[in-house]
């Protein structure tokens, strides 16, 4: 065993030392930002209001550390999406050059993935484990449910997605499943016994087959750090400066991971804004940000309150919305940006009129010289933009849509991936199920029986071919072709693009039969998918990426823009987190849509309010809030819509009200 490494702290920087730095930090940052950036050792909490230069502060701190002689590889930057991490590192590179590229960065999940593959062996984890995304998780649950013979008669059993949600939520909130059901899913209580048994089986099922779902990535990393002191020590020694962005959206396990990783040095910088906590549905707990000083005693706290993004008129509305929050840090954003614009509150007759208004205003903005990339339309739920998407298409306004259904989640992409996943991890029974049921003449029953034998065999390709010989019910030919494909995929050193090409050759005819009505569309998706995976050299890496950071374009977006042409953005508020545009539209700012019908409890309403705050602070220069007064409700037909309760009480002088009218000309 190697000696413990002791790092000597550098002398604290005195003002004279500033000359040693190439970057003139004091000139480029405001006093609060500077305090955060020049902070060197020990815990630091930065409460950063919307648009207060949070990202800038993080980037300059990375640069500062590197300039002070900290090896870039000793810096760990945990962010909410990998896109955010990459963007930050790119900007850091502009400051200090290539060195910044060596900074370790990514999401908690991708970090956990890497650590577990490298150091998971002592706890019996195979390095080729498969990551289950949400729909894989649901597939497994469904499979186990059928095996257990649950819900076949009398009582209708809850949907797999509901069960998956309950199981995941319990883990993210660190609760017993029983307790979780009692609190958040009382309507499932009549099936509690079965669900608990199912959850137990789900756990062992994953363990036996080297499958990890999203929650497992975090949990098993915590387990590794807690139970294997030498691993924890090694990681803590190699990542001596840890920074976490969007700390208000971490959950209890993530907070624990930070504590464990920082145990040797306490060099942790957490950045966040309690007013922007919008992921409690995923177990995020904004209390983490408040408890930070308790977990890391002596934490220095810096507040960034000056907003550099929005004009005052927009901030006034945002401040007013959040001022009615039940519980909050008092923090009022202010700006030195002048400008007389007041946000619009636009009342439309119906949804389509709302869409036409947005499209028309966008065309006007383009006339005024505003680039499309500077315009975004935000909404609470992905489906809220359907009508608008049609209208934009009709008027040839190019857009991409972020959030909502992703094209990587479509059946045909998952089908192709499943073939590759069984190559990477032959124990991956979920993928086997997918692969086998695609063969004509094989349904769930036959597939399930076959899988156990396949998982146990060393050479699945040959095993499949053997099954082909004994097959009945017309599955012989299909199985034979499948066996040949698998053998080919495994043979020699092949790269992902090659493997995908081979899989497609096998899969395309299968798909044409399975999705006879719309296969041309799916073929185009697969082509797009091929382009995306062109750069991968390792199959494992590609599969992990697809599960952890799938390309965020939605299907609609991919089809709407043929190329990398300039385009505007449609996005859910959640996916708009951390981003900004010159002009922002928020559609469906109507009670019943935002907040939606499912937000009933006080906590839920409070989170919706923070969402409204996040949405309105994305805009730099212009903000348009709109709602239709006639809206369709599936049970009541057309009902009167009213403005979202979060905007209802905003003083009239802060907003410009407008009503849309059909022009008289014919």
Binding site for DNA (CB under 7 A): 80-81, 107-110, 133-135, 138, 142, 151-153, 156-157, 159-161, 168, 214, 278-279, 281-282, 380-383, 403-404, 437, 440-447, 473, 548-550, 552, 572, 574-575, 596, 598-599, 604, 634
Beta bridge partners of 568: 399
Answer yes or no: 522 catalytic.
no
Nearer to DNA, 88 or 489 (CB): 88
Answer yes or no: 245 catalytic.
yes
Candidates 57, 276, 503, 569; catalytic one:
276
For residue 406, the 8-state DSSP code is: B
Q: Cβ 209 to DNA, closest distance in Å?
A: 20
Q: Distance between CA atoms of 377 and 567, rounded to whole angstroms?
A: 12
Q: Cβ 351 to DNA, closest distance in Å?
A: 16
Task: Give the list of residues 6+ apart from residue 643 with CB closer than 8 angstroms, or none.
Answer: 345, 347, 589, 590, 591, 627
Nearer to DNA, 155 or 207 (CB): 155
Sort 130 into a burial class: Cβ within 10 Å, 0-12 / 13-18 / 19+.
buried
Nearer to DNA, 142 or 465 (CB): 142
CB distance 421 to 130 below 8 Å: yes
Task: Give the list of residues 6+ apart from residue 187 with CB closer than 8 angstroms, or none.
Answer: none
Candidates 180, 246, 415, 606; catalytic one:
246
Type and span of the H or E element at 314: helix 312-323
Q: Distance between CA atoms of 544 and 26, rounded to whole angstroms?
A: 41
What six digits make up the tokens of 367? 């006339």
Q: Distance between CA atoms of 591 and 610, rounded to whole angstroms?
A: 15
Q: Cβ 415 to DNA, closest distance in Å?
A: 13
Q: Distance between CA atoms of 588 and 32, rounded to whole angstroms?
A: 37
Q: Distance between CA atoms of 35 and 48, rounded to whole angstroms?
A: 13
Q: Cβ 293 to DNA, closest distance in Å?
A: 26
Candidates 33, 38, 55, 572; catalytic one:
55
Q: Cβ 272 to DNA, closest distance in Å?
A: 16
Q: Cβ 302 to DNA, closest distance in Å?
A: 27
What does each C-alpha distance from 128 to 137, 209, 354, 423 come to in angstroms? 18, 11, 50, 10
Query: Three-state DSSP class for 269?
Result: strand
Answer yes or no: 661 catalytic.
no
Nearer to DNA, 36 or 413 (CB): 413
Q: Cβ 446 to DNA, closest distance in Å?
A: 3
Q: Cβ 300 to DNA, closest distance in Å?
A: 29
Q: Cβ 139 to DNA, closest distance in Å?
A: 9
DSSP-derived pairing of the beta strands 630-633 and 637-640: antiparallel
Nearer to DNA, 246 or 621 (CB): 246
Q: Distance between CA atoms of 380 and 589, rounded to whole angstroms?
A: 8
Q: Cβ 102 to DNA, closest distance in Å?
A: 22
Query: Three-state DSSP class for 471?
Result: coil
What is the signed CA dihedral for 503, 505, 510, 514, rounded to 10 degrees? Answer: 80
DSSP-derived pairing of the beta strands 568-572 and 375-379: parallel
Nearer to DNA, 11 or 472 (CB): 472
Sort 645 into a burial class: Cβ within 10 Å, 0-12 / 13-18 / 19+.
middle
Q: Cβ 596 to DNA, closest distance in Å?
A: 5
Answer yes or no: 415 catalytic.
no
Q: Distance between CA atoms of 342 and 82, rounded to whole angstroms?
A: 35
Q: What is the CA radius of gyration of the chain?
A: 27
Candidates 33, 38, 40, 54; catalytic one:
54
Nearer to DNA, 254 or 425 (CB): 254
Nearer to DNA, 236 or 437 (CB): 437
Candidates 232, 342, 356, 618; catalytic one:
618
Beta bridge partners of 585: 377, 624
Task: Give the list of residues 6+ apart from residue 445 with CB closer than 8 angstroms, or none.
Answer: none
Answer yes or no: 665 catalytic.
no
Candidates 136, 139, 245, 545; catalytic one:
245
Q: What angle do CA 511, 213, 225 make, to 5 degrees?
A: 150
CB distance 26 to 34 below 8 Å: yes
Answer yes or no: 620 catalytic.
no
CA atoms lying within 13 Å on the CB side of residue 12:
4
Nearer to DNA, 443 or 477 (CB): 443
- At residue 544, what are phi and psi to the nearest 5 degrees? -65, -45
Peptide bond into 595 cis (omega under 30): yes
Full DSSP string of 447-506: HHHHHHHHHH-S-HHHHHHHHHHH--TT-HHHHHHHHHHHHHHHSS---HHHHHHHHHHH
- At residue 175, what are phi and psi to the nearest 5 degrees? -120, 155
Start-to-end CA span in the chain (Å): 86
Q: Distance between CA atoms of 89 and 310, rounded to whole angstroms?
A: 25
Q: Distance between CA atoms of 306 and 51, rounded to whole angstroms?
A: 8
Q: Distance between CA atoms of 572 and 618, rounded to whole angstroms?
A: 12
Beta bridge partners of 447: none
Nearer to DNA, 68 or 161 (CB): 161
Q: Cβ 578 to DNA, closest distance in Å?
A: 11
Active-site residues, by number, are: 54-55, 245-246, 276, 618
């Amino acid at each position: 065993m190697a000696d413990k490494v002791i790092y000597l702290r550098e002398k604290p920087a005195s003002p004279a030392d500033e000359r040693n730095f190439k970057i003139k930090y004091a000139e480029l940052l405001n006093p609060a930002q500077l305090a955060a950036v020049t902070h060197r050792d020990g815990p630091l909490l930065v409460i950063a209001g919307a648009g207060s230069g949070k990202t800038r502060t993080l980037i300059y701190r990375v640069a500062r550390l590197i300039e002070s002689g900290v090896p870039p590889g000793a810096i760990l930057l945990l962010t909410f999406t990998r896109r955010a991490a990459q963007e930050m590192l790119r900007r850091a590179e502009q400051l200090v050059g290539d060195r910044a590229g060596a900074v370790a960065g990514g999401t908690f999940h991708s970090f956990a993935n890497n650590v577990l593959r490298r150091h998971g062996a002592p706890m019996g984890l195979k390095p080729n484990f498969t990551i289950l995304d949400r729909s894989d998780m649901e597939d497994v649950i469904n499979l186990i449910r059928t095996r257990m013979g649950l819900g076949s008669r009398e009582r209708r059993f809850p949907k797999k997605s509901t069960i998956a949600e309950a199981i995941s939520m319990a883990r993210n909130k660190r609760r017993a499943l029983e307790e979780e059901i009692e609190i958040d899913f009382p309507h499932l209580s009549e099936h509690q016994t079965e669900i608990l048994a199912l959850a137990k089986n789900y756990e062992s099922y994953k363990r036996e087959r080297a499958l990890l779902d999203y929650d497992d990535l975090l949990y098993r990393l915590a387990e590794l750090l807690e139970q294997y002191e030498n691993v924890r020590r090694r990681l803590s020694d190699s990542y001596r400066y840890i920074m976490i962005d969007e700390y208000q959206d971490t959950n209890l396990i993530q907070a624990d991971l930070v504590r464990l990783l920082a145990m040797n040095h306490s060099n942790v910088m957490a950045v966040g804004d309690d007013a922007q906590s919008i992921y409690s549905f995923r177990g995020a707990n904004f209390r983490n940000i408040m408890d930070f000083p308790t977990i890391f005693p002596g934490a220095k706290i810096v507040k960034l309150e000056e907003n550099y993004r929005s004009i005052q008129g927009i901030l006034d509305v945002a401040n007013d919305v959040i001022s009615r929050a039940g519980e909050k840090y008092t923090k009022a954003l202010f700006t030195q940006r002048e400008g007389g614009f007041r946000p619009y509150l636009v009342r439309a007759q119906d949804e389509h009129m709302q869409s036409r208004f947005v499209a028309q205003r966008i065309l006007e903005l383009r006339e005024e010289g505003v680039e499309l990339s500077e315009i975004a339309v935000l909404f609470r739920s992905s489906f809220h933009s359907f009508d608008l998407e049609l209208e934009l298409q009709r008027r040839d306004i190019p857009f991409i849509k972020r959030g909502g259904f992703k094209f990587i989640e479509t059946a045909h992409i998952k089908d192709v991936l499943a073939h590759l996943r069984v190559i990477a991890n032959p124990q991956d029974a979920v993928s086997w199920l997918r692969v086998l049921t695609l063969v004509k003449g094989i349904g769930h029953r036959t597939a399930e029986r076959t899988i156990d034998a396949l998982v146990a065999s060393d050479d699945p390709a040959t095993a499949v071919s053997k099954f082909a010989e004994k097959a009945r019910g017309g599955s012989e030919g299909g199985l034979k072709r499948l066996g040949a494909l698998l053998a080919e995929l495994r043979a020699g050193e092949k790269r992902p693009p090659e493997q995908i090409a081979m899989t497609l050759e096998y899969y395309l005819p299968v798909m044409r039969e399975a999705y006879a009505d719309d296969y041309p569309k799916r073929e185009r998706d697969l082509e797009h998918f091929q382009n995306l995976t062109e750069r991968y050299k390792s199959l494992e890496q590609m599969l992990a990426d697809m599960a952890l950071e799938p390309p965020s374009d939605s299907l609609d977006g991919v089809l709407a823009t043929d190329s990398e042409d300039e385009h505007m953005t449609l996005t859910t508020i959640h996916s708009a987190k951390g981003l900004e545009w010159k002009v922002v539209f928020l559609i469906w700012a109507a009670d019943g849509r935002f907040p939606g019908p499912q937000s009933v409890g006080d906590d839920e309403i409070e989170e919706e309010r923070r969402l409204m705050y996040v949405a309105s602070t994305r805009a730099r220069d212009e903000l348009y809030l709109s709602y239709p007064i006639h809206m369709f409700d599936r049970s009541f037909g057309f009902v009167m819509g009213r403005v979202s309760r979060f905007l209802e009480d905003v003083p009239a002088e802060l907003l410009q009200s407008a009503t849309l009218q059909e022009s008289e000309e014919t």
